[in-house]
Amino acid sequence: MKPVYKKYFMTAALIWTSCFIVFVFVYMLVLVPQNESKKQIEEQFTKKMQVYNSALQAAQEETKTRLNKQMENLRDTLNDFVVDLEGSANLTFEISQIAKERRITPSTIEVSQEVRGGSVIPDCKYIDENRVDIKFLATSFNQFAVFLNALERHQPVIFVDSFKITRAKKRESGHQVEMNLSVFVRKRQKG
């Protein structure tokens, strides 16, 4: 190539390269944020349309019936896990009945509302947690396991937080078992 053409070719290449770089900067500074804001607006629009459609459906009678049925199912599920305030008084009796059926004689059963580490339900207006501590002698691990199973299958649910088994020093005596249980209780509502 002649030097004149080489000079024109280099100038054209520099101009095209600089235009390409300017185009990339404009794309990154202007168009990318626009695309992101467009996506956000589309997501907001989709959410608002869903709210609008659910509001339209809520006015229909079949939707009201379906929602009432769904609320009833949720209440039933809640009742599987939460004891009424009046029912919490019978909790000690129910636990001792379960123990009696499994041929276990509890030495102590203590119900308290004391808070243990990490057991507070934050910002909960409707549910409290009652604690139950049980101490008893178990003749075998199977007897303990059967009792533990019965507690966890109880309705409403009794949660076993922790347990400790101390091995007996004599073979004839039973093993000392300490269990920490928790039960969810409905709070008394004001008004």
Q: In this structure, are 88 and 53 located in the same domain? A: no
The C-alpha angle 171, 174, 179, rounded to 5 degrees, equals 140
Residue 139 phi, psi (nearest 5): -75, -25
Residue-wise pLDDT for 57-70, tens only, equals: 777 888 888 888 99
Q: In this structure, are 96 and 54 located in the same domain? A: no
d(CA 157, CA 178): 19
Q: Say how many domains are in the chain.
A: 2
Greater confidence (1 vs 43) lies with 43
d(CA 36, CA 31): 9
Range of the domain at 51: 3-59
Residue-wise pLDDT for 132-153, tens only, equals: 888 888 878 888 888 888 888 8
Q: In this structure, are 51 and 99 located in the same domain? A: no
pTM: 0.56
Q: In this structure, are 173 and 109 located in the same domain? A: yes
Residue 21 lies in a domain: yes
Alpha-helix runs per DSSP H in the chain: 3-26, 32-58, 61-81, 91-101, 141-153
CATH number, domain with residue 141: 3.30.70.60
Residue 78 lies in a domain: no
